[in-house]
Structures are given as structure tokens and as C-alpha cells.
Structure 1
Amino acid sequence: MASAPTVEPTEALIGPLSWPVKPKVKLGMTGAEADLTDTEQAFQDMAHGFAATVMRPIGEKLDRLTPEQVIAPDSPYWEFREKYLALDINPVTLSELPPADLGKILPIIMEEFGWGDGGLSVTIGACQLPPLLTLMFGKQYLLERYPVDLIGCWAITEPDHGSDALDPSKQIFHAQGNYGRPNCVAKLVGDKVILNGQKSAWVSNGPIAEVCVLYSAADRGNGPDPENGVVMIVPMNTNGVSRGKSIDKLGQRPLPQGEIFFDNVELSADHIIAGPEEFQRAVYAVHCEANGQMGAIWTGSARAAFEIAWKYAHDRKQGGVPIYRHQAVAQKLFHMYRKVEASRALTRRVALFNFTQPVPALQSAMAAKVTATQTAFEVASDALQMLGGNGNTREYPIEKILRDARASMIEDGCNDILAIKGGFQMMDPDLL
């Protein structure tokens, strides 16, 4: 057996150590992260400042309003929207970055937004999807008609079809199951598309959107086909488009969500982004993007909950000492910190991989989403427990973060379904 190569000791390799006698590192807001480049740091500072001064205070105000008040003309939502547009962060401007830079910068931005407010972060993400899919499928002419600063939404799930709408390949479908009739159908007739039906109450930005990226079953004359559907841009002011009321819900209350109805909506075929032959690829693409961004958003939300608990443990006294002095509290904070660090590491690693590879890995995007949302809920729950009775009050935002995080484990594909589909995505048929 060959011996290990010898290495001449040098001062650079072995020291001497310049550590303090009792070493201790005070980590920054994103933990054990390597130094950011000047560009990355600038984006983080900008996003964090916006999250702290705009998103968090406005999100707390919106959380206490009715769904109707959230979208009313005098709602703080519109102040948030105006200030967000001033940042000029959107798929068009971000697409100017090299893929490796984008893979690092986007999760940094979305983590800071998630730290500010989970629901408002999702409204930002939903706005990005129509122009993003337009760019991904080379339909830039649609951006000239429907600019990037319009309020966007993504309509895919239906009253009778939830997370299975994200599974046109039927990886999670039971062999004896029957999909049934789609609730929304796009009939392709010559150079026109005629839409009829509805999308579910969970369309993010549905009540206020100006443009929609619609995923629908397609009918090419032989009946609706949910496996080979159509993806298209739908301007929401088109005749025949209507909306349901904003839903009242447990968490993410600053995020307007509601049904969209289509009654003989007629559009030219050039509104199609991806036709039946490209439909499954388009579902894969949007799912990778959405789950990747969810990983970053809810890592930020988990970090927010951890920071509140960490500060509280220094301030709150029980038994004559700050509660941080109690072993159980220190242990709990360590595990909260550990989960946030693991979620961030996975999310950023997946983002960089997916932006720099020829084809992104859907199972990895799903892993980031499931890990981050589960982490956000667990960390927020532990934080509320640490704050005791105070955690249940609105004086501290923990109860809001907990409600927001609970919803995140269902949206963009519920975690249970994502785990099944992700497992099948990992399968190698050649080994079976």
C-alpha cells in the first residue's frame, strides 16, 4: 500500500494560531456563510433594508385586515407594491446576470424577503412567473404587450385538482384512479384559443392580477387532455374573465388569493407560451422555479423566528436569570439554529446547481421547498413555546410567522405529495 505523500510543514499550514485564548465566533445574520462578493452583499443589503422597513411593518398591518381591506384602494398593500417596483428586481433585470451569479443572488434576495414577510414574498414570486415563463420559452414579444411591472398570477390548481395538477406525468397517480374532467379547458381552434372553466381559490394574486400565466388542459378536438395541456398568457381584462372573492384564511393574510373564472374567453393563439407537446416540460420548469424560491423564502421566515427567540432568551428572566442561562433553552436555540443553517445551505446549493446545469433537478428543488417550509414551521413553533404566553400575543410576530409557515407546507404542492413525486423523480428505471 502506497504511503501518504509527505507535506513539508509551513507557517501557512500549521499556524501559529492567532485565536483568542477562549475562542468564540459571533455569527452574522446569515450564520456560517462564506464572505459574499461585493455584488452579493449589495443585493443582500438592499433586500434586507426593504424587508425591514417596508415588508415587515406593512405585512403586520395587512395581517389584521379583512381580505377585502387588503386589496382596497387605500390598503397599505399598494404602498408595498409601489416601493417593490422601485427596486427594479424582476426576471428581465435578473436575467442580465450570468447563471452562476443568479444562482447565488436570487436565494439571497428571496431569503431576505421571506425574513420580512412570507405572504408578501409569495405575492412577489407570483408576479414574477408570467414574465419568467415568457422568457424561458422565448416569447419575448409577449413582454412588449404585457410588461414586467404588471401584477401577475399563476393559475394551475383547480377545485377538483390540487397538487395533482403539478403531476401531468402521473407519477403520484394511483393505478386505479380516474383523473376525471378538468375544471378548466383551453380549446384550440385554428389560430384561436377558447377558455372555459375555473381555477381554484388558491391562485396567488388572483383577486388583483393584471396578467395570468395559465396552465390548463387542452382540447384539440378530441376532448380535454390534462396530460398534454397548454400554458398561455391571459390578460385579466379580457372579456369573459371574472374573479371570486378573496379568501379568508389562517396564514399569509397579506397575500390576496381567489378563484378565476373563464366564460368563453377568446384569445389569439400567439398567447400560447407552451403547447401540448411542451406542456410537461413547462410544468417541470415552473415547478423547479417555484419550489426553489419557496426554499429561500421560508428559510428567511425560519430565520426571523429564530432571531426573535434568540433575542427574547437574552431579555426574559425567570428563576433570577435570563432564560438563556437555562440548559433547556440553550439546547432548543441550538437546534433551531441548526435547522435554519441546514435549510439555507440546501436551498443555496440547489439554486446554484439548478441555474448552472443544462436541466434543473426537480427533486432537488422539491427537497429545498419541503425542508425550508418544515423548518419554518418547526422553528416558529419552538420559538412560540419559548416565548410562552407572550408568543400567543400580537405584541410579538411569532404567532403570525407560525400561521404563515403552516400554510407554506401546502402551497406550491403540499409537502406530502412532493415527497412522493420527488421519490419517483429519483428512481432509475434501468435498475428496476
Structure 2
Amino acid sequence: MSTQSVPELELPKTTEYRNLDAPIYSWAATPKGPLTSSGAEAALPEHIADFQQTLRNFALNVVRPIGIKLDRMTPEEAIAKDSPFWEFRRKYLELGVTVEALGEMEPQEAALLFSILFEELGYGDAGLAISVGAGILPQWLCAKFGRKDLLEEFPDAMLGCWGITEPDHGSDMLDPSGQIVYPGSSYGRPNLVADLTGDDIILNGQKSAWVSNGIIAEVCIIYCAADSGNGPSVSEGCALVFPMNLPGISRGKPLDKLGQRALNQGEIFFDNVRIPRKYLLAGPEDYQRAVYCIHAEANALMGATFTGLSQAAADLALDYAHERVAGGVPIIKHQSVRSRLFHMFRKVELSRAVTRRGLNFNNDPQLATPSLCAAMFSKTTGTQHSFEVTSDALQIFGGNGLTKEYPLEKMLRDARASLIEDGCNEMLAIKGGSYLIDNEKLA
């Protein structure tokens, strides 16, 4: 039997070893390389590193204290005119992070800043971070679809909401392609339908109580079934961006819930609401692309936010482990505590890496279509790890972690909600697995 020779691999050669100025014998006798604010990641560009520090200070001094106050209020108090929520909103806008500013940056640099922004907001309070994320989705998608006219009409200062989930169709609405529908069944009649047969679009029905910012938003991006004359179809729906003061729009009560209580959520009702055609962002022919696009953006946002929450919980637990004495010593001296902390920080590192890598990949200008799978990796990894890390952090705090004197019980509640929102993780895994099918291999 003959064999083929393998050509010699030529590696690029450098004239100088890049760490020659820091040889190994200059290390401490017991080496210990620290992690940074971005974990085990190379140094950030100076302007982004500076902005990250600004965001960390904002998270600690503004976001977290306000989030704790809102968590202890009733849902009605949390959105009242004198609520600290509006102080948070005003101070966030003063940071100057706008859709326009991100759009003017190099795409992959903008992706890094996007990830850092929501990591740091999540470090302060996950509910307020999601409020910011939902709040910019109308403008973000207008930018993605090149609708400068709508961006001018709805500037970033207008608080947005994203209406997609419905009372009878939660995660179903994220699946217009039918990848998770049970074989032989259908999703049934939608709860909100847009009639596209006339000059104006007519909306009738409702979105469920889980619309983030739903009770207080000024502008909405709606994803719903459309009727072009042959009856309503979820697979051929439409996406609309419009002001929330149109006649026929009403809202329910703010939702009272377990976690993310700083995040306002509530029902929106539509009674023969007339929507001018200029507010149509995506018609039936573009609907599946529109769902795919916003789903990829929102899942990445979730991954970043709950990476930040995980980092906050791990940092608090590490500090507490140095302070709390049990068994006659600070508990960090106990092997089981050190082991638990190690795995907490490992999960934070994995979540951050998956999120930033996915965002970097999906914002590569040479990529024809972003990968929803990559965004789903980010969401499911970040949220699952967040729940595990906050639970472990509470365990390190012991009984104190169960009290409202410490932030851990709130963080655990906030993390638990993340396993369901923006598509429950079980559904995302099924849908993500469907994207891995190679039909050519099944032929």
C-alpha cells in the first residue's frame, strides 16, 4: 500500500518572543495571575475599558440601589410618577448610549460594547437591564431594517416595548417556521391579528401580561399574525412599530411577579386600532426574517445581562467568604467553599465567552446571515449559569442569604425568571437543534 507524503507545515516566524521583556524568572515565587473585569480576556481598547468602568460605577451607585427599592414596591408604586424608576431612566439616558451611536461604530466593536453594556447593567439589576433592552428594541429593529424615517420619529429617549408573547401562545410566537410544533397539530388561532386588507392596518386582540415596559412604553414594536384576505396566519405575520397613544390601545394592570420586579410588564389590548401603513416594518413576505432577527438580538442581550448578574453574585460571595467566620476560620479556608467559588467563576467565564464570541460572530460584516443558534447558546448558557451561580452564592451566605438584608435572595429570584423569558430554554434547545439539521444528509 502506497502512502502520500505530508508537506511540511511552515509556521510564521517572529524575530522576537513577545514576552521577552517579562521572562518567567520575573514572576513572584508563588505566581498568581489575576482575572480582570472581563474575566480571562485580553485587554480591552482604552475607550471601551474606560466606558466599562463608568458602567460599573453606574451599576453599583445607581442601578443596584434603585433596583432594590423597586423590588420592595408594589407594581403600581414602581411605575408611579414619583418612582425611582424614572430617576434611573433619566440617568441612563445621560450616559449617551444610543442606537445611532452604536450604528456609527465598526460592527464588531459595537457588538463588544453592546455586550459590556448589558453585562454591567445586569451587574446592577437584571430587571432594569431588561427594561433598557426592551426599551430600545423598536429603534434597534428600525435601524436593522434601514428605516431612518421611523428612527427620526421615535428617538431613543422614547421608551419602547416589544409585544410578541400572547396569552395562549407564549414561546409559540417565536416559532413562525413551526420547528417546535407537535407533529400533526397547530398553534391555533392567534390572540392578536393585523388585518392587512385595507389602506390602513387594523389591529384587534391582545398581547399577554409579559410585555416588558408594556404599561409605561411610548412606542411599541409588535409581532403578530396577519390576515391578508385568507384568514390569520402566524407563519405569515407582520411586524409594526407605532406610538402607544393611538386610539383603541389600552393596557392592563402591571404584573405582580416573583423576580425582576423592577421590570414593568403588563397586557396591551387593541380594539380596532388603525395603524398607518408607514408603521409597517415587515410584511408577511419578511415576517420570518423579522422574527429571526429580533430573536437573535434579544437572546444575545439576555446572555449578556445574566452573565452580569452571575458576576455580581459571584463577586459578593467571594467577598463574603473572606468575612464570614465558621468553624473558627473565614469560610474561604474551607475546601468545599473554595471549590464552590471556583465553579461559580468558571460558569461566569463560560457565559461571558459564549456571549461575546456569539455577538462578535453575528456582527462579522462578511457574514451573510447571523446565527440564531449562536444567540441561543448565549441565552441558554447565560441564564442557566445565572440561576446556578446565584443559588450557590446564596448557599455561601447561608441563612443571611435568605434575608432581604442581603441582595442574594433577590438575585436568585431575578435569575429564575430568565429561564423562561425570551423563549423558555427547553423550547430554544429544540428550535436550536432544528437549525442543526442538514437536509442534504437526510436525502
Interval of TM-score (by shorter of Structure 1 and Structure 2) = over 0.9
Say whether residues 1:24 and 2:29 are aligned partners. Answer: no
- Answering whether residue 116 of structure 2 is matched by residue 108 of structure 1, we say yes
Question: Cα gap change, 1:169/1:18 in structure 2, threshold over 3 Å: closer, same or farther?
Answer: same
Does residue 148 of structure 2 align to residue 133 of structure 1?
A: no
What is the distance in 2 between the residues matched to 1:138 and 1:386? 49
Aligned counterpart for 2:246 among listed residues 238, 254, 258 = 238
1:421 is matched with: 431
Q: Aligned-pair distance for 1:13? A: 7.3
What is the alpha-carbon distance in structure 2 between the residues aligned to residue 229 and residue 4 of structure 1?
53
Q: After the TM superposition, which of the residue ranges 59-68 and 143-152 deviates more from structure 2?
A: 143-152
The whole-number CA distance in structure 2 between the counterparts of 1:329 and 1:416 is 31
Residues 180-208 of structure 1: CA deviation (Å, up to 9, x unaligned): 11100000133210000000100000010
Give, in whole Å, the separation in 2 of the partners of 1:244 and 1:426: 40
**8 Å contact 1:94–1:102 — kept in the other structure?**
yes
User: What CA deviation, in whole Å up to 9, does each residue of 1:102-151 have, x standing for no partner?
Assistant: 12111011101110000000000001100111111122111222222101
- Asked whether the 8 Å contact 1:103–1:353 carries over to 2, the reply is no
Structure 2 SS opposite 1:204 = coil
Distance (Å, rounded) in 2 between the aligned partners of 1:407 and 1:321: 36
Q: Which amino acid aligns with 1:138?
A: G
Please point out which of 370, 375, 378 is paired with 2:385: 375
Cα displacement (A) at 1:425: 1.0
Secondary structure in 1 aligned to 2:182?
Answer: coil
SS of residue matched to 1:257: coil
Please, which of 323, 331, 334 is the counterpart of residue 339 of structure 2? 331
Separation (CA, whole Å) in 2 of partners of 1:17 and 1:11: 15
- Tell me which residue corresponds to 1:350: 358
Normalized against structure 2, the TM-score is what? Answer: 0.95
CA contact (8 A) 1:155 1:215 kept: yes
Q: Partner residue of 2:97?
A: 89
Cα gap change, 1:8 to 1:373, in 2 (>3 Å): closer
Deviation at 1:23, TM superposition (A): 0.6
1:35 to 38, 43, 46: 43
Alignment of 1:395 with 2:405, yes or no, is yes
The corresponding residue for 1:284 is 292
Moved beyond 6 Å, runs of 4+: 1-11
Amino acid paired to 1:361: S
Q: CA–CA distance in 1 between the matches of 2:40 and 2:24? A: 23
Equivalents in 2 of 1:17, 1:96: separation in Å? 45
1:1-400 alignment, distance < 5 Å: 15=23, 17-356=25-364, 357-400=367-410
SS class of match (1:195):
strand
Q: C-alpha separation between the residues in 2 aligned to 1:394 and 1:145?
A: 43
CA displacement 1:66-121 (0-9 Å, x = unmatched): 00000011100010011111112121221111102112111011101110000000
**Can you list the C-alpha shifts for 1:258-317, whole angstroms capped at 9, x where unaligned?**
000000000211110000000000000000000001110000000011011100100000
- Secondary structure, aligned partner of 1:189: coil
Tell me, in whole angstroms, the C-alpha distance in 2 between the residues paired with 1:126 and 1:92: 16
Determine the C-alpha separation between the residues in 2 that align with 1:369 and 1:5. 40
Counting aligned pairs with the same residue, the percent is: 55
Secondary structure at the aligned position of 2:242 is classed as: strand
Give 3-state SS (helix, strand or coil) of 2:406's partner. coil
Compared with structure 1, are the counterparts of its residues 82 and 12 closer, same or farther at alpha carbon in structure 2 (3 Å cutoff)? closer
Unaligned runs of 5+ in 2: none
Counterpart AA for 1:290? A
Quote the offset at 1:179 in angstroms. Answer: 1.4
Instruction: Encode CA deviations 1:344-401: one digit per residue, 9 max, x unaligned.
Output: 1111000100111221100110010000000110000001111110000111101000
The alpha carbon displacement at 1:334 in A equals 0.5
Counterparts of 1:284 and 1:8, CA distance in 2: 44
Q: 1:424 Cα shift?
A: 0.5
Provide the C-alpha distance between the structure 2 equivalents of 1:387 and 1:13, rounded to a whole number of angstroms.
41
Tell me which residue corresponds to 2:416: 406
Q: Secondary structure at the match of 1:197?
A: strand
Which runs of 5 or more structure 1 residues have no equivalent in the other structure?
A: none
CA distance in 2, matches of 1:394, 1:8: 57
Please, what is the CA RMSD of the aligned residues?
A: 1.7
- Displacement of 1:8 in angstroms is 10
Paired letter, 1:372: G
Give the distance between the partners of 1:338 and 1:178, measured in 2 at CA. Answer: 41
Which deviates more, 413-422 or 84-93? Answer: 84-93
**Secondary structure at the counterpart of residue 217 of structure 2:** coil
